[in-house]
Amino acid sequence: MSQSDAAFDLHAPAVHARSSPFGIPTKKLAMWLFIIADAATFAGCLVAYGFLRNGTPNWPTPFKTPTVVNAGVMTFVLITSSLTILLGVRDAKLARKSQSLRWINITAVLGIIFAILHIREWFGMISEGVTLAHNPWGSALFGSAFFSITGLHLTHVAGGVVALLAVGWRYRGGRYNSDDIEILGLYWHFVDLVWMFVVPFVYLMNVAH
């Protein structure tokens, strides 16, 4: 019986003490659980946004080509960072510590570039008069929804960069191993995945036509 078969046989006594029925180390399981909860948080926000947008007849669609290009570049940077953390995890699993650390640092740099592009965009919008409570184009909810959803995501990116540097530091010192890099990678991919929902809903649906 393969491990995955055993996983679903709740009848069978656990053969080894401390063997997870799903073959997942506890830390990784906890990260998956956190991702489930965090996904519920983002889903709540996106559903609230959709609810308000549907109920607002004059919802503004102000975004023009520069915004879309900027969002495209940010998306490219973030997807690339998912690839680099993947390479970092691979190298960690192959016990190539210095290469792995290099990929982790590149990922952190890409995260920082994403954040800089994002904050630059924010300041551009604020200078055009868009705030949480007001905007020049129509329903005040546009700014509220835009800043709160992208803000929540940006907080996750910032937290992720801090986590990349902290986990990388401990990995360098030997306190963390390749499993921890993999768990960190899960989080980073999740932040990337959430962005894949933010781009169409918050950017592309609000492009001027």
Rule CB under 8 A: say whether 44 interacts with another protein.
yes
Write down the least CB distance from residue 38 to another protein, Å: 7
CB 99 within 8 A of CB 92: no
Residue 94 or 166 having the CB closest to another protein: 166
Cα 192 to Cα 70, 160, 197, 198: the distances in Å are 16, 11, 9, 10
Cα–Cα distance between 11 and 6 in angstroms, integer? 9
Rule CB under 8 A: say whether 51 interacts with another protein.
yes
Cα–Cα distance between 182 and 142 in angstroms, integer? 37
Rule CB under 8 A: say whether 66 interacts with another protein.
no
Residue 189 exposed, middle or buried by CB count within 10 Å (0-12, 13-18, 19+): middle
Rule CB under 8 A: say whether 123 interacts with another protein.
no
Rule CB under 8 A: say whether 37 interacts with another protein.
yes
**Binding window for another protein (CB under 8 A); candidates: 18-26, 60-68, 72-80, 111-119:** 18-26
Rule CB under 8 A: say whether 26 interacts with another protein.
yes
The single residue among 3, 20, 61, 155 that binds another protein, judged by CB under 8 A, is: 20
Question: What is the DSSP annotation of 91-104?
Answer: HHHTT-HHHHHHHH
CA atoms in the 13 A half-sphere facing the CB of 11:
2
The single residue among 3, 55, 61, 72 that binds another protein, judged by CB under 8 A, is: 55
Which residues of this chain interact with another protein, rule CB under 8 A? 10-18, 20-22, 24-27, 29-30, 33-34, 36-38, 40-41, 43-45, 47-48, 51-52, 55-56, 132-134, 139-141, 144, 148, 152
